[in-house]
Amino acid sequence: MSPLEIDLGCGDGSFLLALASQYPEKSFLGVERLLGRVRKVVKKAENASLINLKVLRLELSYSVEWLLPDDCASRVHLLFPDPWPKKKHHKRRLINKKFCESVVRILNKEGEFLFKTDHEEYFEEAIVALSDCHMLERIAWDSKEFYPVTDFERLWLSEGKEIYSARFKITK
């Protein structure tokens, strides 16, 4: 079975489609809650004849905590999730202890978790949660590796916002 990479919250699919095109030997799974976005990604994948890409319409936290099997992924990407900036909404943020434990469970023994956001406070909170997870170790982000820019990243960069990135490897 080819290595599986999971894009949590794949949005319009531009990142996922670029990866699937660049790495035809790998398998890719996009997880997205919104039906309209899922339909767009599926249509784009079909138009590009990408057979190494599937999309799952489901809530991200549910897919990670309950659906995805142990050791199934070589990489999990979480790019620009909703930071829920209002204090009263912080409980809705995706990255927490339970999420981190679930990510560790689904990553294989060489697995990696990659996270990007434009929201500094959320980034700092996420880094604490991820660093507290006993089987994840933060490593350098390899800027030479092919890593497509998402639409949100392009937008935030055009507005002069800073992008915060973190890469973790599994230590099982």
Catalytic residues: 82
C-beta atoms surrounding 39 within 10 Å: 13
164 contacts 118 by C-beta, under 8 angstroms: yes
State the number of CA atoms in the 13 A half-sphere of 147 facing the CB.
17
Q: What angle do CA 111, 114, 119 make, to 5 degrees?
A: 160
Rounded to whole angstroms, the Cα distance separating 17 from 66 reads 25
C-beta atoms surrounding 145 within 10 Å: 7
Q: Where does 23-137 have alpha helices with state H?
A: 35-47, 60-62, 97-106, 120-132
